[in-house]
A = this chain, B = another copy of it.
Amino acid sequence: MAVRPVETPDAAGRNDGPREDARLLSLDELRVRLRAVGEERYHHQHPFHLMMHEGRLTRGQLQAWALNRYYYQSIIPIKDAIILSRGFDPAFRRAWRKRVIDHDGDTVISRATSNATSNNETNNNEGGIKRWLKLAEATGLNADYVRAGKGILPATRFAVNEYLNIVRSRTLLEAVASSLTEMFSRDLITLRMEKLRQHYPWLAGGLDYFEARLTQAPEDAAFAVNYVYENANTRVEQELAIQALRDKCDILWAQLDALYFAYVQPGWPPPGAFRIEKVEA
């Protein structure tokens, strides 16, 4: 059993709302506040990830992870299309649409030019969703089963759908800010790729998703931090943006809680969800 590493004894943060102090944060101060949210709440510290990185997950548990996280991956371009639909500035939309392409791929173009391009370039255009399916296949899951969404934990759906609720119902500023977990993802992905290769070498062929995110995520985060700084005109708006990042962290954390509960300890997937086969690798 993993020991939970983080203890946050009070309810500081959630629902605190805007602070009394009305002074606008500088760009550096804003970055410090956002990074503090990551330190407290980003899922790099979640026990399920610690087990993963220590090589203590079974193949079945990695299947459950890949299956459930597929639902998250599959809604990312929908989430970004909602944000696109809410941006009135063409320059903003031109910058943001990259995210839809990163995840959905660009196979029409890559097919048309595939004779002239290397395999590597073609692969770069297949998109994050297809790359995540390759990871799921590397765990031994059937791609059609994963794509159909059968067996995904209801708690995964509820957490992920909340991401859609946030980008639909809050301000565009908060919707953009909710993407800022990408500020923290490069370090986590770098560590994860090393640990997956070390502990689960049979997964090594399925890591294209993470490889691509190593460059995509920092670009996206840099744009979003600047956007939040330039478009939050009051301290109240800055605090709402910080809260949106906190809420997004909760969405990621809750997905791992649900995996841990269903597939590690006590190990109780709800009625209808994916069950790990008895014979384990």
Task: Tell me, yes or no, whether A154 is within 8 Å of chain B by CB.
Answer: yes
- Given A154-B250, A165-B165: A4 touches B266 (CB 8 Å cut-off): yes
- Given A14-B150, A149-B15, A150-B14: A257 touches B251 (CB 8 Å cut-off): no
* Oligomer: number of copies: 2
Bound-complex Cα distance A272 to B158 (A): 19
Partner of A11, one of B151, B257, B258: B151
B157 touches A8 (CB 8 A): no
Question: Which A residues between 106 and 163 are near B, CB-CB below 8 angstroms?
Answer: 148-151, 154-155, 157-159, 161-162
Partner of A271, one of B6, B149, B159: B6
The size bracket of the interface on A is 35 or more
Question: Which A residues between 229 and 281 are near B, CB-CB below 8 angstroms?
Answer: 246-247, 249-251, 253-254, 257-258, 260-262, 265-266, 268, 270-275
B9 touches A254 (CB 8 A): no
Bound-complex Cα distance A275 to B265 (A): 20
Task: Tell me, yes or no, whether A77 is within 8 Å of chain B by CB.
Answer: no
Which residues on B sit within 8 Å (CB–CB) of A150?
11, 14-15
Partner of A155, one of B4, B11, B258: B258
Q: Which residues of A contact B (CB under 8 A)?
A: 1, 4, 6, 8-9, 11-15, 40-41, 47, 148-151, 154-155, 157-159, 161-162, 165, 246-247, 249-251, 253-254, 257-258, 260-262, 265-266, 268, 270-275
